[in-house]
């Protein structure tokens, strides 16, 4: 009984640490340093894609690494607190929620895919590596699709789920990760659909990438020299 009562504060600490790590607003800070408000630019999400396209490619890559790392850090901190793997997954889920609703940015954030991948890599690095390879291959093969990232994440976690069930590798843990990934994807698709109905943005894909076509105005006539009036 005493051991169980002592475990509860530890679990709470792990979940709280996961949330605070996930809430670290790397995208928002990167935008501010470069004079850009990510919440009023592009897809208005504090994520890698928005920074990549509207702040800078190198900055976006750094934000991706940071968001990936905070998901992994949430799992590692929970491990240091000696909680069980399922509760480490809960701490990772708290990091995703922190990324969605950061206490440091008035509960605004990103879609949570980068922290999700960090959680997955920290919990099951072997299977995650195989899943990522399949996911990247899917994204490359569907590069012209606006939902390429969504399909890539789906392929990644479907491969992980299939391998874990077939070879009996961390079946419960992978099932939990698959459920978390499903929630992240459904939320991302819901946000995309809501924005589409509101009509507040141009074509946006599941990662929040905004594509704007360059419009060439060919209707206006070129400026021609005016005829010189005759002198009388």
pLDDT in tens, 164-185: 999 999 999 999 999 999 999 9
Phi and psi angles of residue 142, each rounded to the nearest 5 degrees, phi first: -115, 35
Is residue 141 one of the residues assigned to a domain? yes
Closest to 45 (Cα-Cα) out of 62, 59, 19, 25: 25
Q: Report the predicted TM-score, pTM, of the whole model to 2 decimal places.
A: 0.82
Half-sphere exposure of 38 (CA within 13 A, CB side): 30
Is residue 34 one of the residues assigned to a domain? yes
**Number of Cβ atoms within 10 Å of the Cβ of 8:** 9
| The total number of structural domains that make up the chain | 1
Which domain does 37 fall in, by range?
2-198
**C-alpha span between 29 and 35 (Å, rounded):** 10
**C-alpha span between 40 and 199 (Å, rounded):** 15
Phi and psi angles of residue 108, each rounded to the nearest 5 degrees, phi first: -115, 160
Is residue 220 one of the residues assigned to a domain? no
**C-alpha span between 73 and 119 (Å, rounded):** 8
Is residue 192 one of the residues assigned to a domain? yes
> Rounded to the nearest 10 degrees, what angle do helices 85-100 and 171-198 cross at?
10
pLDDT score of 199: 60
Is residue 119 one of the residues assigned to a domain? yes
In tens, the pLDDT along 100-131 reads 999 999 999 999 999 999 999 999 999 999 99
List, in order, residues 6 or more apart from 185 with CB less than 8 Å away.
150, 153, 154, 206
Instruction: pLDDT tens for the chain, 232 residues: list them.
Output: 434 544 899 999 999 999 999 999 999 999 999 999 999 998 899 999 899 999 999 999 999 999 999 999 999 999 999 999 999 999 999 999 999 999 999 999 999 999 999 999 999 999 999 999 999 999 889 888 878 888 999 999 999 999 999 999 999 999 999 999 999 999 988 888 887 776 644 444 434 443 333 222 333 344 444 444 444 4
Is residue 222 one of the residues assigned to a domain? no
SS3 label, residue 204: strand
DSSP string, 112-177: SHHHHHHHHHHH-HHHHHHHHHHHHHHHHHTTTSTTHHHHHHHHHHHHHHHHHHHHTSSHHHHHHH
């Amino acid at each position: 009984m005493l051991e169980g009562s002592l475990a509860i504060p530890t679990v709470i600490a792990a979940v709280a640490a996961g949330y605070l790590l996930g809430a670290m607003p790397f995208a928002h800070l990167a935008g501010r340093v470069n004079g850009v408000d990510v919440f009023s630019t592009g897809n208005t999400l504090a994520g890698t894609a928005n920074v990549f396209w509207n702040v800078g490619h190198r900055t976006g890559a750094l934000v991706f690494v940071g968001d990936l790392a905070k998901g992994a850090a949430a799992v590692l901190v929970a491990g240091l607190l000696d909680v069980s793997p399922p509760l480490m997954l809960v701490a990772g889920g708290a990091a995703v929620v922190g990324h969605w609703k950061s206490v440091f940015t008035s509960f605004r954030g990103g879609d949570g895919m980068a922290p999700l991948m960090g959680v997955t890599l920290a919990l099951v690095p072997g299977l995650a590596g195989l899943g990522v390879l399949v996911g990247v291959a899917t994204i490359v093969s569907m590069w012209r699709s606006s939902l390429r990232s969504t399909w890539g994440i789906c392929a990644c976690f479907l491969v992980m789920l299939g391998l874990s069930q077939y070879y009996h590798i961390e079946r419960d843990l992978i099932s939990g990760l698959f459920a978390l990934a499903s929630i992240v994807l459904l939320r991302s698709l819901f946000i995309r659909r809501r924005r589409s109905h509101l009509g507040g943005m141009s074509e946006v894909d599941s990662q929040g990438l905004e594509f704007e076509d360059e419009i060439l105005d060919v209707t206006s006539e070129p400026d021609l020299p005016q005829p010189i009036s005759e002198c009388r």
